[in-house]
C-alpha cells in the first residue's frame, strides 16, 4: 500500500514543505506587531507669539522742545509673531514667520508704525528615518545655531535678547543652509550652517559667507541631578569682505534643574570693518540664574526670579567696559502643556565707562508674554 501511494505521499510532503517555507517568508516581511506606518498626512498649524511691555526710563532723560526734562515711558509691543508651521509628509516640514518692526523711513506715511517683515521662512528635511530622532537639514531664512540654543534654556527673550545678540555680535535669524545631528543616547547635538552672515535684516552684500558651528555635550545624561549639565562651544567664521574678518567664539556651561536654570558663557570677537580700519578684538562674559519658586511637580507655572549680569570689553586694547545688570520677578500662568503666558516685573541698568562715550541706562519695566 505504501509503495502504491508513495508518489502521492511525496507530493503531499513536498507541498507541505513549500507551504511552510511560504509561511516563513511571509513572516519575515510582515511588519512587527505594533509597528505603525509613518503618517504622511499633510498638516498645518498656526500659532502666535506676543511680547508687550510698559517701560519707564530713569536714565538717560530727554529734553523736550520747550526745554523741560522728561523721563521717557511708553507702552510697546516688542514682538508679534504669526507662526505658520506644518508637514508635507513625515520627511518634509516648513515654517513661515512674519514679525513686526518699527517703520523709520523718512517721508513715509507709515513712519512710526509697526509693520510686518519676514523673520523665518524655510523648508526642512527630517532625517529621523536614517539618523537619531531630532536630526534635520534646513534651507532658507532660519534660526542661527547659538542664539536658538541659548534662548531655549534662558526663555526670557521677552525681557530682552541674550548677551551676544543684545550687543550686536550675533543675530537670531539669517539666510542659509544648516543641519543638526543628534548624538545618540542623549549626549548632545551638533548644529552646522552656512549663512549669508548679514542677518535677516539685510540682503547679501557680496560673495562672503559665514560658517557657524555649535557643538553641545551633555556628559551625564542619565545621572540624576547632574544630567542637566551641558557644555557648549560655538564658532562663527565670517568676513565683511575679502580680508576683513568678522569672527565670534562662545564657550558656555548651562544647567537645567527643577529648582533653577543657570548659565555662564564667555565671548571673544574679531572685527575689521574696512581696509582703512584697524582690527578690533573684544571680549566679554555673561552669567544668569533663574530660581524657580514653585511646588515640585507643577507644569512650568508659578513664580520665578531672574538675575543676570553682562560684562563687555568692546576693544581689548582699551580698558573700558559696558556692564549690564538685570533683576526681575516673573509669574508663569498655569496652562496645559504647549502654550505659555507670563508677566515679568524687572529692573535693568547699563553702565558705560567714560571711554565708550555712551550714556548710562536705567529702566523699570513690566513685560508680558503670550505664546501658543
Find the length of the chain. Answer: 372
Residues 94-121 pLDDT 10s: 999 999 988 877 667 778 899 999 999 9
Residues 249-287 pLDDT 10s: 999 999 999 999 999 999 999 999 999 999 999 999 999
CA distance 154 to 290: 8
Q: Respond yes or no on whether the N-terminal peptide bond of residue 207 is cis (omega within 30° of 0).
A: no
Residues 2-15 pLDDT 10s: 344 444 434 433 44
Query: What was the pLDDT predicted at 25?
Result: 38
Nearest Cα neighbor of 289 from 303, 270, 309 is 309
Query: What was the pLDDT predicted at 53?
Result: 98
Query: What was the pLDDT predicted at 9?
Result: 37
Residue 144 scores a pLDDT above 60: yes
Q: Mapped to the 3 state alphabet, what secondary structure does 144-191 carry?
A: CHHHHHHHHHHCCCCCCCCHHHHCCCCCCEEEEEEEEEEEHHHCEEEE
Residues 40-71 pLDDT 10s: 999 999 999 999 999 999 999 999 988 899 99
Query: What was the pLDDT predicted at 271?
Result: 97
Strand 229-241 vs strand 136-143: parallel, antiparallel, or unpaired?
unpaired
Share of residues in the chain with pLDDT > 90 (%): 79
What pLDDT band is residue 299 in, cutting at 50, 70 and 90? low
Residue 126 scores a pLDDT above 50: yes
Domain map (residue ranges) of the chain: 57-371
Encode 134-163: b = buried (16+ Cβ within 10 Å), e = exposed. ebbebebbbbbbbbebbbebbbbbbbbbbb
Q: 244's torsion region: left (phi>0), alpha (psi -120 to 50) or beta?
A: beta
Are residues 302 and 295 in contact, defined by beta-carbon separation less than 8 angstroms?
Answer: yes
What pLDDT band is residue 302 in, cutting at 50, 70 and 90? very high
* pTM for the model: 0.86
**Grid cell for residue 254:** 548651562
CA distance 292 to 258: 7
Residues 205-258 pLDDT 10s: 899 999 999 999 999 999 988 999 999 999 999 999 999 999 999 999 999 999
CA distance 342 to 334: 9
Residue 350 scores a pLDDT above 60: yes
* Residue 222 φ then ψ, to 5°: -120, 15
Q: What CATH class does 57-371 carry?
A: mainly beta
Amino acid at each position: 500500500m505504501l509503495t502504491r501511494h508513495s508518489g502521492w505521499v511525496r507530493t503531499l510532503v513536498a507541498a507541505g514543505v513549500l507551504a511552510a517555507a511560504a509561511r516563513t517568508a511571509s513572516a519575515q516581511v510582515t511588519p512587527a506587531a505594533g509597528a505603525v506606518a509613518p503618517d504622511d498626512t499633510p498638516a498645518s498649524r498656526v500659532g502666535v507669539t506676543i511680547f508687550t511691555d510698559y517701560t519707564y526710563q530713569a536714565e538717560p532723560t530727554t529734553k523736550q522742545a520747550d526745554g523741560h526734562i522728561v523721563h521717557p515711558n511708553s507702552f510697546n509691543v516688542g514682538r508679534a509673531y504669526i507662526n505658520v508651521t506644518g508637514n508635507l509628509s513625515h520627511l518634509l516640514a516648513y515654517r513661515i514667520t512674519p514679525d513686526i518692526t518699527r517703520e523709520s523711513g523718512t517721508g513715509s506715511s507709515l513712519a512710526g508704525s509697526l509693520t510686518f517683515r519676514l523673520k523665518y521662512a524655510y523648508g526642512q528635511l527630517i532625517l529621523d528615518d536614517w539618523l537619531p530622532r531630532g536630526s534635520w537639514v534646513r534651507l532658507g531664512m532660519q534660526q542661527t545655531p547659538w542664539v536658538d540654543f541659548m534662548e531655549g534654556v534662558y526663555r526670557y527673550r521677552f525681557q530682552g535678547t541674550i548677551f551676544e545678540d543684545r550687543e550686536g555680535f550675533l543675530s537670531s535669524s539669517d539666510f542659509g543652509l544648516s543641519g543638526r545631528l543628534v548624538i545618540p543616547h542623549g549626549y548632545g547635538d551638533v548644529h552646522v550652517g552656512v549663512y549669508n552672515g548679514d542677518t535677516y535684516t539685510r540682503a547679501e552684500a557680496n560673495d562672503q559667507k559665514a560658517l557657524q558651528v555649535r557643538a553641545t555635550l551633555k556628559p551625564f545624561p542619565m545621572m540624576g541631578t547632574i544630567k542637566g549639565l551641558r557644555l557648549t562651544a560655538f564658532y562663527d567664521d565670517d568676513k565683511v569682505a575679502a580680508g576683513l574678518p568678522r569672527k565670534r567664539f562662545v564657550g558656555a556651561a548651562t544647567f537645567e534643574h527643577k529648582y533653577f536654570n543657570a548659565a555662564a558663557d564667555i565671548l571673544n570677537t574679531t572685527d575689521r570693518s574696512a581696509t582703512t580700519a584697524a582690527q578690533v578684538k573684544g571680549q566679554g562674559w555673561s552669567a544668569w540664574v533663574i530660581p524657580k519658586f514653585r511646588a515640585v511637580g507643577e507644569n512650568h507655572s508659578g513664580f520665578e526670579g531672574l538675575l543676570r549680569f553682562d560684562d563687555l570689553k568692546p576693544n581689548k586694547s582699551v580698558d573700558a567696559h559696558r556692564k549690564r545688570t538685570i533683576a526681575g520677578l516673573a509669574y508663569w500662568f498655569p496652562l496645559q502643556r504647549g502654550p505659555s503666558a507670563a508677566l515679568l516685573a524687572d529692573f535693568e541698568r547699563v553702565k558705560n565707562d567714560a571711554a565708550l562715550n555712551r550714556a548710562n541706562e536705567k529702566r523699570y519695566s513690566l513685560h508680558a508674554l503670550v505664546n501658543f
